[in-house]
């Protein structure tokens, strides 16, 4: 596989051509500061501060005693100052508008992959547990025979409309060559579905 082939598989490359037969999607270019935020593993993963002061987890049970005991600091000793969570106001507004336009329920995807394997709401609180996300951010070109890039120059967040009727066993990948359908495969390959 060549870098050019990998690049053609990015959602921002193929979606414009197939949007009439695909799930409605809004694609946002991610600022480099946001990409660096995702990649930063120097400390705990702090959720960005919302410009609208909305809680990212509105249904969680708050335990004020635990919140008082937990402080994020950098360095050691008395001179350590708490880390400030980042903020991405322009990106946040664009994402909120897209989610609202898509009916309030979406599934996210980076250039190639959805972080469906992410356990970021786990006790460790890290997005870095998503192999899919890390692959897109750091290893997309690793198996290219002509590898010159370590990562794409730009990253995109695709917000795709969520339909409750989506069933993994009824999702397929279609392969087209020379404007002809040459193959179809099951999208979810890790599970056997008797209906298929």
- What does the domain layout of the chain look like in residue ranges? 3-54+84-165, 166-196
How do 180-186 and 172-177 pair as beta strands?
antiparallel
Start-to-end CA span in the chain (Å): 30
pTM of the model: 0.75
With beta carbons less than 8 A apart as the criterion, state whether 114 and 108 touch.
yes
* Position 134 pLDDT exceeds 70: yes
pLDDT score recorded for residue 72: 52
Length of the chain: 196
Alpha carbon separation from 122 to 70, 83, 164, 171 (Å, rounded): 16, 21, 24, 28
Q: What is the mean pLDDT of residues 57-73?
A: 54
């Amino acid at each position: 596989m060549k870098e050019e082939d990998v690049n053609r598989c990015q959602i921002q490359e193929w979606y414009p051509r197939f949007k009439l037969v695909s799930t409605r999607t809004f694609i946002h270019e991610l600022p480099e500061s946001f990409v660096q935020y995702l990649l930063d593993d120097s400390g705990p993963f702090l959720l960005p501060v919302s410009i609208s002061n909305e809680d990212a987890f509105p249904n969680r049970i708050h335990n004020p005693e635990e919140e008082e005991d937990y402080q994020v600091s950098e360095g050691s000793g008395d001179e350590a100052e708490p880390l400030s969570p980042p903020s991405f106001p322009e990106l946040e507004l664009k994402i909120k508008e897209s989610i609202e336009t898509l009916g309030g329920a979406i599934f996210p995807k980076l250039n190639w992959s959805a972080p469906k394997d992410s356990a970021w709401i786990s006790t460790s609180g890290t997005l870095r547990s998503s192999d899919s996300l890390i692959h897109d951010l750091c290893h997309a070109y690793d198996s290219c025979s002509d590898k010159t890039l370590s990562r794409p120059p730009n990253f995109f967040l695709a917000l795709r409309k969520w339909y409750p009727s989506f069933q993994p066993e009824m999702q397929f990948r279609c392969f087209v060559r020379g404007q002809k359908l040459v193959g179809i495969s099951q999208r979810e390959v890790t599970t056997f579905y008797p209906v298929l």
